[in-house]
Amino acid sequence: MILKKIEQLLQEINALTADNAGQIEELRIKYLSKKGAINALMADFRDVPAEQKKEVGMKINELKTAAFAKVNALKEQFEAGNNESNHLDLTRTPYPVRLGTRHPLTIVKNEIINIFGRMGFSLAEGPEVEDDLHVFTKLNFAADHPARDMQDTFFVETNENVVRNIILRTHTSSVQARVMEKTQPPIRVICPGRVYRNEAISARAHCFFHQIEGLYIDKNVSFTDLKQVLLTFAREMFGADTKIRLRPSYFPFTEPSAEMDISCNICGGKGCAFCKHTGWVEILGCGMVDPNVLESCGIDSSVYTGYAFGLGVERITNLKYQVSDLRMFSENDVRFLDEFKSAN
**Residue scoring higher pLDDT (267 or 251):** 251
192: how many CB neighbours lie within 10 A of its CB?
A: 20
Least confident of 125-134, 142-151, 259-268, 294-303: 142-151
Give the sheet arrangement for strand 129-131, strand by strand. 129-131, 161-168, 155-158
**Residue scoring higher pLDDT (160 or 77):** 77
Give me the pLDDT at residue 88, please: 67
Residues 243-257, mean pLDDT to the nearest whole number: 93
Give me the pLDDT at residue 87, please: 60
Residues 315-324, mean pLDDT to the nearest whole number: 83
Residue 175's Cβ-side half-sphere holds a number of Cα atoms within 13 Å equal to 27
**Residue scoring higher pLDDT (145 or 81):** 145
Q: Which helix (H) or strand (E) holds 334?
A: helix 334-337
> Cα torsion at 203, 207, 211, 213 (round to 10°)?
130
pLDDT band with cut points at 50, 70 and 90 for residue 160: low
What is the domain partition of the chain in residue ranges? Answer: 2-84, 104-343
d(CA 180, CA 160) in angstroms, rounded, equals: 35
Say if residue 262's pLDDT is above 70: yes
Question: What is 104-343's CATH superfamily?
Answer: Bira Bifunctional Protein; Domain 2 (3.30.930.10)
Give me the pLDDT at residue 290, please: 94
Dihedrals φ, ψ of 271, to 5°? Answer: 110, 125
Mean pLDDT (the chain) is 84
With CA atoms as reference, report the closest residue to 177 among 284, 311, 316, 306.
Answer: 306
Give me the pLDDT at residue 108, please: 92
Query: pTM higher than 0.75 for the full model?
Result: no
Phi-psi sector, 160: left (phi>0), alpha (psi -120 to 50), beta: left
Least confident of 54-58, 106-110, 308-312: 54-58
Give me the pLDDT at residue 82, please: 60
Contact between 153 and 147 (Cβ < 8 Å): yes
pLDDT digits 0-9 by tens, 10-21:
888 888 888 788
Give me the pLDDT at residue 221, please: 95
**Residue scoring higher pLDDT (274 or 107):** 107
pLDDT band with cut points at 50, 70 and 90 for residue 150: low
Say if residue 113's pLDDT is above 70: yes
Residues 59-80, mean pLDDT to the nearest whole number: 81
d(CA 235, CA 309) in angstroms, rounded, equals: 16
| pLDDT > 70 fraction of the chain, expressed in percent and rounded | 90
Contact between 45 and 26 (Cβ < 8 Å): no
pLDDT digits 0-9 by tens, 180-225:
999 999 999 999 999 998 887 777 778 888 999 999 999 999 999 9
d(CA 311, CA 112) in angstroms, rounded, equals: 10
Say if residue 84's pLDDT is above 70: no
Give me the pLDDT at residue 289, please: 95
Give me the pLDDT at residue 256, please: 94
